Amino acid sequence: MNGGQPTSERVLRLINGYWATGIVGAAASHSLFSHIEAGASSAEQLATRAGISKRGAQTILDGLVSLGLVELRGGGYRNTTEASAFLVEGRPDCLTGFARLKMAHMATLSDLPEVVRSGGPLRDATVEIADNPHWERLVQALAAQSVPVAKIAADTLRVAEAGEISILDIGGGSGVYSAIWLERNPAARSTQLDWAPVNAIARRALAERGLAERFSCIDGDFHTTGLGTAAHDIVVYSHIAHQEGPEDNIAMFAKIRDCLKPGGTLVICDYIVDDDRTGPPFSLTFGAEMLFKSKHGGTWRRADYEAWLIKADFEDISFQPTPSPSTLVFAQ
């Protein structure tokens, strides 16, 4: 505002918002956050360590300062606490893979006006193609986002103390829930239901952590694959609901209710919007991704989840916020 009058600065920043994706993606591609964390505090040092031009290093540093991911103190650059926590390679919550993935998606965004007009994807829905190379890139990039949430869910359910439990992870992707929970509970076993190419990624990840003997996979489409009856103590449905329409989610919740043992728990994790659709910002924005990539998906309200779960005969339903944009839902 200028003397009470609106200015165009914020609008221009939003219009040019794709530059933020590009700047963070370029920084991630050259491991700049890791180099800064290791002590590169000037454009010259960063250029030398990363093998890039000094001009390029200075330009990206300026951009990262503007985005609040790098700060200039005493004449030297350093990561903010946020960048240090989530953008330094080798740390479990590192999101640099996701940053590189999203930068690669920018070119397709020009289709969004037509997608909005038609109400869905212009081509085959990305989320419905099992052998789409998108999945291998995505599930590995998303794994870091799931780490803190999986730990919170494990604490809430007291997985470490649960003894010989059976876990089913529907659409488990990288297998991160299984990996974290099996490490906490040496008596637990976990099964992942997902497409074969995705399960192959999870098998490798669990084997690398020495958990292969207690981890199994079912290759298939969860819409049509049977889940059994009273077979599992915990079922995970993480970041699946936003790909599905209301009727499909209700049908899945009913199948899950049947496959849970008495007293068992369904754990849902997703980007959930407030009932009045005024927030949270990330969840509201993410709805555009589902319009772009799925035929019926969206970011659903708390009231939607409650209604669907009650219709599927769940009674005890609770919501738990997390430090990430995801909300956990527990239902019994």
> Which CATH number does the domain housing residue 316 bear?
3.40.50.150
Residue showing tokens 């927030």: 279
On the CB side of 97, CA atoms within 13 Å amount to 16
User: Would you tell me the crossing angle of helices 176-184 and 196-208 to the nearest 10 degrees?
Assistant: 30
Q: In CATH, what number is assigned to the domain containing residue 42?
A: 1.10.10.10
- For residue 209, give its domain range: 119-331
Q: What angle do CA 63, 67, 71 make, to 5 degrees?
A: 80
Q: Please report, for residues 54, 68, 134, 233, 288, the alpha-carbon distance to residue 197 in angstroms, rounded to integers and kept in the order given.
A: 41, 38, 11, 26, 26
pLDDT on residue 107: 83
Whether residue 282 sits in one domain with residue 203: yes
Whether residue 296 sits in one domain with residue 159: yes
Q: Name the DSSP letter for residue 128.
A: G
Residue 91 CB burial class (10 angstroms; 0-12, 13-18, ≥19): middle
b/e code 209-229 from CB counts within 10 Å (16+ = b): eebeebbebbeeebeeeebee
- 40 φ, ψ (degrees, to nearest 5): -70, 110
In a domain, 97, yes or no: no
Residue type, 242: H
- 50 φ, ψ (degrees, to nearest 5): -90, -10
Whether residue 312 sits in one domain with residue 199: yes
Count CB atoms within 10 A of the CB of residue 288.
15
In a domain, 69, yes or no: yes
In a domain, 207, yes or no: yes
- Which one of 37, 62, 86 terminates a domain? 86
Whether residue 125 sits in one domain with residue 53: no
CB 54 within 8 A of CB 68: no
Residue type, 90: G
Whether residue 303 sits in one domain with residue 161: yes
- Which one of 44, 61, 86 terminates a domain? 86
Whether residue 141 sits in one domain with residue 48: no
In a domain, 99, yes or no: no
Whether residue 212 sits in one domain with residue 297: yes
pLDDT on residue 110: 87
Whether residue 172 sits in one domain with residue 244: yes
How many domains does the chain fold into?
2
pLDDT on residue 131: 59
Cα dihedral 26, 148, 105, 62 sign: negative
Dihedral of CA atoms 72, 78, 83, 84 in degrees, nearest 10, equals: -150
Q: Which of 40, 156, 148, 143 is nearest to 95 (CA)?
A: 143
In a domain, 114, yes or no: no
Bridge partners (DSSP) of residue 331 are: 266, 317
Encoding tokens for residue 252?
């899945």
- What is the full per-residue pLDDT of the chain (332 aa) written as tens digits? 566 788 899 899 888 999 999 999 999 999 999 999 999 999 999 999 999 999 999 999 999 999 999 999 999 999 999 999 999 999 988 999 999 988 988 888 888 899 899 998 887 655 555 555 666 667 777 788 899 999 999 999 999 999 999 999 999 999 999 999 999 999 999 999 999 989 999 999 999 999 999 999 999 999 999 999 999 999 999 999 999 999 999 999 999 999 999 999 999 999 999 999 999 999 999 999 899 888 899 999 999 999 999 999 999 999 999 999 999 999 99
Cis preceding linkage at 262, omega within 30: no
Whether residue 47 sits in one domain with residue 133: no
In a domain, 185, yes or no: yes
In a domain, 205, yes or no: yes
Whether residue 315 sits in one domain with residue 230: yes
Whether residue 212 sits in one domain with residue 66: no
Encoding tokens for residue 226?
């049977």
In a domain, 237, yes or no: yes
- SS3 call for 168: strand
pLDDT on residue 237: 98
Whether residue 151 sits in one domain with residue 70: no
Whole-angstrom Cα distance, residue 332 to residue 310?
10
- SS3 call for 137: helix
Whole-angstrom Cα distance, residue 26 to residue 321?
31
Count CB atoms within 10 A of the CB of residue 51.
8
pLDDT on residue 129: 52
